[in-house]
Structure formats: structure tokens, C-alpha cells
Amino acid sequence: MEVWEIADSGKNGAPANPNRAWIDRGVLVPLGRPEHREFGPLLVAPGVILQSAQHVISLARSHSLWQMMFGLACCAIEMMAANASNYDLDRFGVMPRGSPRQSDLLIVSGTVTYKVAPMVERVYHQMPEPRWVIAMGNCATAGSLYYHDGYSVVKGVDQVVPVDVYISGCPPRPEALIDCILELERIITGKEEAQRR
């Protein structure tokens, strides 16, 4: 893409500062240089943000994660407490939904047993993409204290579905779940800080 020139000129017939011309005039100029995409939104004119569609869509997705309530055990109580009014996940856009068809975040909270593992997988496959999975609590992360001698426990839900963020805790505090939602927001929008963890 080429850079369009400004037709108008400043005083004495010489062109005004070409770098500031479009801010003064409010004309949208596509820059087209690939390195501009990583600098975040560029204020091109009052009320206009220049950004890739992908970034805006990721912002929208990460700030309206509709959660599929998959509360299995004790962590479900803390998940409900996080959704309740004291720790209010609704201000992050997270709304608990009953149906997997309407949700894009699966919070597996509680122990996954061999009897319930096919249901977790089925619910995961019923969710439309893009979808993310949070393994909440020690049991969903790695099987927790049932790791040894627990013959009926799947040692971590990542044996069944791919997981994006793990939360440790038995059960984790609601603030840990909030931290995890924020971490997931960073992952979805592709911020560089998320990759360091």
C-alpha cells in the first residue's frame, strides 16, 4: 500500500509538516507498514483508532468470556462465590451459562473422575470455537491429593481436554480465579507479558 500525499499545503505554498498533516486535518491515512501493527492503537484523528480487526475482536472476546458452569466438586463453591456479589466476575464480562453452545470458557472446577471424563470431553466438543479452558484447582490441574492411590481419579483434566490456564489451590480463592481470568484476557489479546509466565 502506498502512502498518499496531502494535497493541501501550509503557508508560503510549502507543505505543512507531513507527519502532522492528517492529525490537523482529520484525514484517515492507511500507513500500511507492517511494524505499525505492533505498536497498539494509533490515534489517527480525534475519535478514531487505527488498529487491526483481529486485535479489536480479541479485545471484545476477552472482555466478554461467557463461562460454562462445569462445577464438579469443592472448587465449584469457590467458583460460585467468585460469580456472586462479593467477588463479582460479572464486571469482567464473565457470565455463567448453562449450555455449552452459548459459552466460550470452560472452567473445570473439581476432580475429574473416569466416570465423568467422557462428559467433560463431550461438553468441550459441544462448545463453539474459539473456546478456552481453565483448569481450576489442584484436582483439575494434576489430580491433587488423589494422585496416589486414587484409582478412579483422572490425574488432571489436561488428560481429557487442552487447558489454557491452570489455577492451583485447594480450593483456590475467588481472587485467584479473577487473576486467572485476567491472565486469560492477556493470552487472548496476545500481550507479550502473558508469554513470559
Partner 1 sequence: MSAPAPAPGSPARDTLLQAARAGLGPALIGYHGTSDGALCLRVQLSGYRRAAELLRSHGIDRLDFITCVDWRHHLTLTLQGYGIGNGLQVRLSTRVARDGQEVPTVTDLWFLANWEERETYDQFGLVFSGHPDLRRLLNPDGWEGHPLRKDYVDRVDINRPEYF
Partner 2 sequence: MTDRSREIPERAIPEGEYQPPDDIQDFLINIGPHHPGTHGVMRLVTRLDGEKVAGLDVRIGYMHRSLEKIVENRTYPQVIAFTDRTTDYLAAMHNDWVYCLAAEKLLGIVVPERAEFLRVIVAEMNRITSHLMSIGALGLDSGAPTYFLWCFNARERLVRLFEDICGARLTYVYMRLGGVIYDAPPGWLERVRETVRGVIDEFPSYRDLFHDNYIWHERSKGVSTLSPEEALRLGAQGPILRSTGYRWDLRKNMPYSIYERFEFDIPVGIKGDVYDRTEVRLAEIAESAKIIHQAIEGIPAGPILAARIPRVPSPAPGETYARLESPRGEIGCYLVSDGGMKPYRMKWRGASFHNVAMLPALSVGYTLSDLINIVGTIDPVMGDVDR
**What's the half-sphere exposure (Cβ side, CA atoms, 13 Å) at 170?**
9
Closest CB to partner 2 among residues 33, 148: 148
Per-residue buried b or exposed e for 89-126, using 16+ beta carbons within 10 Å of the residue's own CB: beebbbebeeebeebbbbbbbbbbbeebbeebeebbee
Closest distance between partner 2 and the C-beta of residue 92, in Å?
Answer: 17
- 118 part of the interface to partner 1, by CB under 8 A: yes
Closest CB to partner 1 among residues 58, 138: 138
Query: How far is the first Cα of the chain from the last one, in angstroms, to the nearest whole number?
Result: 37
Closest distance between partner 2 and the C-beta of residue 146, in Å?
Answer: 5
**Contact residues for 75 (Cβ-Cβ < 8 A; gap 6+):** 109, 110, 136, 137, 139, 140, 171, 172
- Taking the CA atoms of residue 91, residue 92, residue 95 and residue 101 in that order, the dihedral angle to the nearest 10 degrees is 160
* 3-state SS, residue 71: strand
- 125 part of the interface to partner 2, by CB under 8 A: no
Closest CB to partner 2 among residues 39, 151: 151
- 123 part of the interface to partner 1, by CB under 8 A: no
From partner 1, partner 2, none, interface partner of 154 (C-beta below 5 to 8 A by class): partner 1
17, 52, 64, 152: which one binds partner 1 (CB under 8 A): 152
Site string for partner 2, 54-93 (x = CB under 8 A): ---------------xxxxxx-xxx-xx--xxx-------
Q: Which residues bind partner 1 (CB under 8 A)?
A: 114-115, 117-118, 147, 149, 151-152, 154-155, 159
